[in-house]
Structure 1
Amino acid sequence: MTTSPHAPSPAAPVASAPGGTAVASQPLRLSIAEDPHGPVDGAWWPRSRDLVTEVADLVDHFPVEVGRLDRLLFSRPDWDDPEGVATPRRVRAARGTVKTGSFPSDDTHLVVAKLASGRRVRLVVVPPGTSESEARGVMTAAGGPDNHRTARELLGLDTDQRDDLGHQAWDDDGAGATP
């Protein structure tokens, strides 16, 4: 007996977006560098923290000229984790099923999309509640030819100053971090 490479195994939870596919009323908010060479290849600004719906939308609307998504690794803190619901190991979309998994270290703020060609695309996940101007700035920077910043740096999460021992550095009046 042969099985399709995308057939779910009995042990792997499979989830589908509502109605079996993502319904995008608006274009996918995605930027991908033409010639990536930094720590990230672009950025994705999902509309919600619902992993299944957003991954299905990403799969269905990922630019065909870039490739077809086969697998997706995600950072757990970027997504809601409903109680009692197992994190899906596969998500069904109109274009097919994509395997999903999470990073061992959770604070990356990335999705890594493995394409059918074998190429990996590292995308900063811009939080859905981010203002349009901030999100567009992150997306432009992440997909830009001169980007050498990490996801955390692009999102402004590496801003606290620490001394060599890992303690918060304070200015002379104790009011905050030193620049």
Structure 2
Amino acid sequence: MAALAQPALRLQPKHTNRPYGGGWWPSRADLATQLGDLVGRWPEDRPSIVSYAFLHDDWDQSEAAVPARHLTRTLILILSDRSSCRLLMIPGHARSDVAEQLLSEASDPHSTWRRMDFASTERPGVAQ
């Protein structure tokens, strides 16, 4: 399998937001550039993005133990049909194998992962 390239956007076929509607692995830290690229990559057959919000970084106190550089974020997109799509946002510096695993689970409507399974790019037993 070829290495995953940045930036990467992967969505569920029919988003369920369970636990995410997909994942986004941007290549830059600049939020304005990231969001412009995301809008440009958004599939034409989906309702367009009209607004966005991030979940507050400390909304779940159990994430306090995750080092900031490994912390993922949740981006909530408000779409033109008034629905929403929760995207897992993976830090740009994450390793490609970890990003692939997170993107695969975030875009799988049958994922059995819980929110905390997505909270960090650190993986038990994997050297960072």
TM-score (norm 2): 0.70
Q: Distance in 2 between matches of 1:68 and 1:41?
A: 15
Over 3 Å counting, the alpha-carbon distance change for 1:28 and 1:66 in structure 2 is farther
Contact residue 17 and residue 86 of structure 2 kept, 8 A: no
Over 3 Å counting, the alpha-carbon distance change for 1:110 and 1:142 in structure 2 is same
Secondary structure of the structure 2 residue equivalent to 1:73? strand
Over 3 Å counting, the alpha-carbon distance change for 1:119 and 1:57 in structure 2 is same
Q: Distance in 1 between matches of 2:115 and 2:102?
A: 9
Partner of 1:45: 25
Q: Distance in 2 between matches of 1:29 and 1:153?
A: 20
Q: Taking every aligned residue pair, what percent have the same amino acid on both sides?
A: 22
Count of aligned positions = 106
Work out whether 1:33 is the aligned partner of 2:12: yes
Structure 2 gap ranges (5+): 60-72, 124-128
Asked which structure has the greater CA Rg, the reply is 1
More helix per residue: 1 or 2? 2
Over 3 Å counting, the alpha-carbon distance change for 1:28 and 1:47 in structure 2 is closer
Structure 1 gap ranges (5+): 1-25, 75-102, 160-179
Q: Among 106, 109, 126, which residue is 2:57 paired with? A: 106
Partner of 2:95: 131
Question: Once superposed, what is the RMSD of the aligned Cα atoms?
Answer: 2.7
Q: Distance in 2 between matches of 1:67 and 1:27?
A: 24
Q: Among 61, 68, 80, which residue is 1:116 paired with? A: 80
Contact residue 113 and residue 120 of structure 1 kept, 8 A: yes
How far apart are residue 27 of structure 1 and its match? 7.4
Q: Which has the higher contact order (CA 8 A, sep 6+)?
A: 2
Correspondence 1:44-63 to 2 at 5 A: 44-63=24-43
Correspondence 1:65-84 to 2 at 5 A: 65-74=45-54
Q: Distance in 2 between matches of 1:130 and 1:157?
A: 6
TM-score (norm 1): 0.52
Q: Distance in 2 between matches of 1:137 and 1:158?
A: 12
